[in-house]
């Protein structure tokens, strides 16, 4: 089903699982500057694939999301066509050194859209908290300098919004999508293919890696609780939403978000459309049990934003045992996930006394400024490759009322699997010098 990388690190293309049966073509116009051969080719134009090859002995699979042909980035494309683009390795030590940290070149329009889109999104998150100060500056202080500052902020938002409006139809045409804002709120599966997140995977050269124990059909018959660390300033690795709802089973994955963020106008609306739920025990449990859907959680939360060290990665999950209790009550497996590169996307401006960190954790919303690419405050992230690595699942039995001993046992197993996960893939990402610490 996938390409195979032998233990020596060489990569060979293996057969696809099925012959191509349906044509997926792009109607990109011939005079478009964004047109590429990948986005205009049809599947029927490909040579018939050779007979399928058994890849059940593969130790790990790698899916290069950024390089997935745009014609395959649609909800109606069967997962087999995605898996046919994978590479694999039989080496139980993982992929070759530095093979997971490559940054791919991208089209200038994709880069521009993401620079604008990232920045506008970040601003929308903080703007509700700025309204009162801006009103005070303009009507209270009312000096020419104060009013000029307010007008500059509004002009900043207007410029970002203008470029967003100009670029949207370009990418709706490129990816053959309808307008996201006009899509139905209940059509979460299709909404997750929104062009902005597709461009995010290209901007960050996103790759996914997982072991045989997660590969289909291992988790097809159960909802899954994906738990990713570290948070970083923004966990952009999770933005490849369709993958969580398609690669390992056919259940929609709903990511959990801080309840206070889901109260922010516009952000709330956009987040709900791609399936976000409040990061609380009851909504997570109901999604896993009543809806029988997957759930994704950024396990270290706001605390993970402040964990930055040159020689060490820190996961704030030593006491995050509530998620294990939820998994036990639901009887679903927990899949540990590590976002290699998350902590390199931004730099947090931390005060020496740690006041903002404590207040942010108390309110469950970040009040700390940060810089990204070019030192831009609340701007786009650096173009750092992000590799999302999944580990072996922690299979939790269903226990209606788990004891503290039950919770501690499976939490310890979860930490152990995070350690193995990090150590297995850190060399392939180029982090041979780093270690993982739990706090």
For residue 20, the model assigns a pLDDT of 39
Q: Is residue 47 over pLDDT 50?
A: no
What pLDDT score was predicted for residue 211?
98
**Range in 53-57, 328-332, 378-382, 432-436 the model is least confident about:** 53-57
Peptide bond into 217 cis (omega under 30): yes
Rounded (5°) CA angle 214-274-72:
60
pLDDT of residue 10: 38
3-state secondary structure the chain: CCEEECCCCCEECCCCCCCCCCCCCCCCCCCCCCCCHHHHCCHHHCCCCCCCCCCCCCCEEEEECCCCCHHHCCCCCCHHHHHCCCEEECCCCCCCCCCCCCCCCCCHHHHHHHHHHHHHHHHHHHHHHHHHHHHHHHHHHCCHHHHHHHHHHHHHHHHHHHHHHHHHHHHHHHCCCCCHHHCCCCCHHHHCCCHHHHHHHHHCCCEEEEECCCCCCCCCCCCCEEEEECCCCCCHHHHCHHHHCCCCCCCCEEEEECCCHHHCCCHHHHHHHCCCEECCHHHHHHHHHCCCCEEEEECCHHHHHHCCCCCEEEECCCCCCHHHHHHHHHCCCEEEEEEECHHHCCEECCCCCCHHHHHHHHHCCCCCCEECHHHCECCCCCCCCCEEEECCCECCCCCCCCCHHHHHHHHHHHHHHHHHHHHHHCCCCCCCCCEEEEC
Residue 437 token pair: 């610490």
Q: What angle, rounded to 10 degrees, do the helices at 195-203 and 144-174 form?
A: 100
Model pLDDT for residues 70-95, shown as the tens digit of each residue: 999 999 999 999 999 999 999 999 99
Please say if the pLDDT value at position 267 is more than 90.
no
Radius of gyration of the chain measured on its C-alpha atoms? 22
Q: Is the pLDDT of residue 116 over 70?
A: yes
Q: Mean pLDDT, to the nearest integer, of 156-182?
A: 87
| Distance separating alpha carbons of residues 13 and 86, to the nearest angstrom | 9
User: Could you report the per-residue pLDDT of 227-263, keeping only the tens digit for each?
Assistant: 999 988 888 999 999 999 999 999 999 999 988 888 8
89 forms beta bridges with 5, 60
* Cis-peptide into 24, omega within 30 deg: no
Residue among 109, 116, 117 nearest 32 (CA): 109
Tally Cβ neighbours within 10 Å of residue 185. 9
- How many Å apart are CA 237 and CA 338, to the nearest integer? 9
Strongest mean pLDDT among 28-32, 191-195, 262-266: 191-195
The residues spanned by each domain of the chain are: 62-439
Question: Is 70 exceeded by the pLDDT of residue 9?
Answer: no
CA 359 centroid distance within chain: 26
The answer to whether 82 touches 417, Cβ cutoff 8 Å, is: no
């Amino acid at each position: 089903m996938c390409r195979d990388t032998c233990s020596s690190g060489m990569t060979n293309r293996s057969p696809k699982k099925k012959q191509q049966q349906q044509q997926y073509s792009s109607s990109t116009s011939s005079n478009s500057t964004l047109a590429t051969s990948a986005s205009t080719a049809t599947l029927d134009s490909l040579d018939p694939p050779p007979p399928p090859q058994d890849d059940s002995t593969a130790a790990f699979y790698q899916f290069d999301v950024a390089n997935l042909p745009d014609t395959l980035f649609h909800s109606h494309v069967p997962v087999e066509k995605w898996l046919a683009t994978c590479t694999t390795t039989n080496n139980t030590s993982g992929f070759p050194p530095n093979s997971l940290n490559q940054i791919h070149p991208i089209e200038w329009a994709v880069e521009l859209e993401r620079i604008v889109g990232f920045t506008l999104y970040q601003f929308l998150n903080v703007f509700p908290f700025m309204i009162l100060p801006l009103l005070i500056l303009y009507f209270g202080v009312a000096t020419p300098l104060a009013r000029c500052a307010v007008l500059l902020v509004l002009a900043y938002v207007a410029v970002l919004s203008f470029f967003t409006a100009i670029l949207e139809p370009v990418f709706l045409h490129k990816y053959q999508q309808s307008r996201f804002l006009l899509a139905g709120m209940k059509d979460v599966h299709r909404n997750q293919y929104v062009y902005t997140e597709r461009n995010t995977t290209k901007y960050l050269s996103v790759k996914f890696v997982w072991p045989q124990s997660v590969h289909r059909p291992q988790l097809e018959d159960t909802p899954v609780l994906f738990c990713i660390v570290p948070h970083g300033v923004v966990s952009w690795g999770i933005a490849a939403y369709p993958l969580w709802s398609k690669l390992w089973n056919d259940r929609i994955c709903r990511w959990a978000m801080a309840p206070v963020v889901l109260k922010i106008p516009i952000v709330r609306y956009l987040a709900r459309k791609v399936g976000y739920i409040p990061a609380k025990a009851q909504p997570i449990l109901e999604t896993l049990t009543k809806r029988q859907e997957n759930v994704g959680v950024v396990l270290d939360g706001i605390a993970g934003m402040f964990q930055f060290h040159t020689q060490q990665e820190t996961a704030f999950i030593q006491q995050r045992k509530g998620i294990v209790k939820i998994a036990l009550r639901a009887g679903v497996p927990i899949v540990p996930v590590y976002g290699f590169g998350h902590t390199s996307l931004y730099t947090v401006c931390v005060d020496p006394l740690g006041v903002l960190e404590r207040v942010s954790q108390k309110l469950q919303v970040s009040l700390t400024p940060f810089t990204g690419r070019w030192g831009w405050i609340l701007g786009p992230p650096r173009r750092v490759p992000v590799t999302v690595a999944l580990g072996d699942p922690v299979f939790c039995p269903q226990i209606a009322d788990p004891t503290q001993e039950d919770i501690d046992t499976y939490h310890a197993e979860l930490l152990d699997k995070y350690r193995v996960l990090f150590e297995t893939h850190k060399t392939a990402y180029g982090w041979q010098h780093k270690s993982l610490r739990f706090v």
